[in-house]
Structure 1
Amino acid sequence: MSLGVPMQCPDRGGPAGGAPPAGLPDGFSSRLDALLAAYRMAGRGVGRAARRGAAGNPALAVEAVGFHPCGPGRLGCMVTPWFLEAVLLPDDPFLWAEARDGDPLPLELPSGRHRFTAARMGLLGTLAAIPLASDMALFLDAEDARHAARLALDTLSGRPAQAPSGCPVLAGPWP
């Protein structure tokens, strides 16, 4: 499914640490709160599995990073102890209503065409997600994970991105 027009992502302008940027519609703030609650609820089951040996990073919590206007919704990242993913939360919860969980959603971003995956989230509707990291033990702390999330958002938004100085995971050198 293609939206047919490239998405235009303006500068985010929001504070660090996952707070939604100022000036977003009131409805979006409550939808972002509901998204965070849904991820935390899902994480409770993952947390039980982690106590039985599944991987996770205890230095991390569930948080939203970025979420700036982009095409039909808001683009941001969800940081959790178990994974990091980019999420496009549409303004219209029914935009991808026909998509089933796991369906591919190829979308144009300023950085090019990307294959998102549909994730049905109940009353929030269907969002589009791209997994970014599954081994969160790579991150030393929450700030490391937030840096990775912001780097991914800059890359997806077509902005030049730089790894923060002193970040061993993102700074390279790469082979």
Structure 2
Amino acid sequence: MTPDREQRFCRSLHADASAWGERLAAAYRDITDRTMRHLPIFNDVLSIAAIDFRAREGRVVGMMVTPWFMNVVTLMRDCTSQSSPSPGSNLRLRFPAGEIEFTVSEPAAVGLIASYSLFSPMFEFEHMASARATAEAGLAALMSPANRAALDGPDARPGSIDRRHFLRGVLTERRA
């Protein structure tokens, strides 16, 4: 990408974050129709939703809810780096609540994304309203610097958020 196009992308990033989330949701709807609907991990009471996609420090981030997973997702094309990792690789990103490790993938025609799985499968959700509320709460926790205090204990691994405790209010656990 030329420097001029990169600057235009960065200026429009905030305005386009929600629209990009909806494009990602459309890609997952297509995946649902083609391959996922009849698999045993599919929770048919849920639908696909892009939750609160926004620009944050030059990167689009939001929560993707599907009938088979709930992930924090970020667009790999950003305003902060010149190179992109390849699909299947891991990438550590810092948020106000701490640092988490994403997995890079390339679903359909939306480009490279990085995902951090919170739930998969999604059978503990009995309706979409509870899945949406959980996604909103999870993203709010990730974006809250107040949750960083959980990272400052003497035995805590610096800057690392543990997936199992992410939505339970305890963002880290002791690790040997």
Asked whether the two chains share a fold, i.e. TM above 0.5, the reply is yes
| In 2, Cα distance between equivalents of 1:152 and 1:127 | 19
40, 60, 66: which one aligns with 1:74: 60
Matched, 1:136 2:136: no
- Rounded to whole Å, the distance in 1 between the matches of 2:138 and 2:70 is 10
Identity of aligned residues (%): 29
Match of 2:22 among 26, 29, 33: 33
Residues 126/28 of structure 1: CA separation in 2 closer, same or farther (3 Å cut)? same
Alignment partners' CA distance in 1, 2:79 and 2:37: 28
Aligned equivalents of 2:138, 2:129: Cα separation in 1: 14
2:22 and 2:43 map into 1 onto residues whose CA distance is 22
Q: Which structure shows the higher helix fraction?
A: 2
Q: Give the total of aligned pairs.
A: 137
User: What is the letter of the counterpart of residue 37 of structure 1?
Assistant: A
| Number of the residue aligned with 1:46 | 36
For residues 4-43 of structure 1, the aligned pairs below 5 Å read 24-25=14-15, 27-43=16-32
| Structure 2 unmatched runs, 5+ | 1-13, 148-166, 170-176
Counting only pairs closer than 5 Å after superposition, residues 17-166 of structure 1 correspond to structure 2 as 24-25=14-15, 27-44=16-33, 45-48=35-38, 50=39, 54-90=40-76, 92=78, 98-121=84-107, 123-158=109-144
With structure 1 as the length reference, what TM-score do the two structures score? Answer: 0.66
- Separation (CA, whole Å) in 2 of partners of 1:96 and 1:140: 42
Task: Give secondary structure in 1 for the equivalent of 2:85.
Answer: coil
TM-score normalized by structure 2? 0.66
Q: Displacement, 1:37? A: 1.4
The 2-side partners of 1:47 and 1:39 are apart by 11
Residues in 1 aligned to 2:82 and 2:137: alpha-carbon distance in whole angstroms: 27
2:27–2:110 Cα contact (<8 Å) kept: no
RMSD: 2.9
**Does structure 1 conserve the Cα–Cα contact (< 8 Å) formed by 2:58 and 2:79?**
no
Give secondary structure in 2 for the equivalent of 1:137.
coil
Q: After superposing the two structures, state which structure 1 stretch, 27-36 or 127-136, moved more.
A: 27-36
CA contact (8 A) 1:94 1:126 kept: no
